[in-house]
Homo-oligomer: A and B are copies of this chain.
Amino acid sequence: MNKIAVWGFAWVPPFAQGLVRDLRVRWALEEAGLSYESRWVGIEERGSDAYRRKHPFGLVPVLESDAGALIESGAIVYAIAEHCEALMPHDQRAKTLAWMFAALNTVELPVWNLFVIDLLHQDEAWAKLRRPGAVEEVKVRLSALSEWLGDRDYLLDGFTAADILMTTALRFIRHTDLLAEFPRLDAYVQRCEARPAFQAALRNQMADYAHNVPVAT
């Protein structure tokens, strides 16, 4: 994979900075030691015909390289990991992919639901009524995940692509104290976020937003 470009939003409001899904791709590329360039789509342009030709749903990320274009953070991270033994041992591909889907479906469904309630609809009556149940649904998943981790440092034997997706999925509830109720899980996320590759990815995403910050009108 060469001549890599990663599409993200040019700028997002602070509540979403550090959460947009191109972060996952940046992180995987940093872990794999692959350099890339950022490409930006304005959040208001994502539905345009031109951008829809890159991404049918008008979302980010899109990865472009000499190997072609690819959508969906899960699939992009998997494609990067396929060429990087450190992100996915060859004999652990099926298990790694299982935990990647666990992150983006089993865990992200309830976690994203709570993010939507708290950050996108916080002033609406339904959100206040729904919140306690949504919190319980998150806790069910966090509890199971914490139990799975036990004394493990990572989801599988060593750090893998699945940890990239799980950590970034769990970041959608960074505005709550829920992770702190599960010390093993809290320590796990901190362990993953302490990796130099994550720090570099986050720094680069934030630098792009700083570069593109809207001018006050």
Contact = CB atoms under 8 A, between A and B. Distances in A.
Given A106-B59, A109-B109, A130-B130, A101 B74 contact: yes
Interface in A69-122: 70-76, 78-79, 94-95, 97-102, 104-106, 108-109, 112-113, 121
Contacts of A78: 94, 97
Contact of A145 (B56, B94, B101): B56
A102 B105 CA distance: 11
B72 A147 contact: no
A106 B145 contact: no
Interface residues of A, number: 44
Given A56-B147, A130-B130, A74 B125 contact: no
Contacts of A100: 75
Contact of A102 (B67, B71, B99, B145): B71
Nearest to A155: B56
Contacts of A157: none
Most central of A59, A70, A94, A145 by chain B CB within 10 Å: A94
A195 to B, nearest CB: 23
Contacts of A99: 72
Interface of A: 52, 56-59, 67-68, 70-76, 78-79, 94-95, 97-102, 104-106, 108-109, 112-113, 121, 124-127, 129-130, 133, 141, 144-145, 147-148
3 tightest A-B CB contacts, nearest first: A126-B129, A75-B98, A74-B101
11 contacts: A57-B106, A59-B106, A67-B94, A70-B98, A78-B94, A78-B97, A104-B105, A108-B109, A113-B113, A129-B129, A130-B130
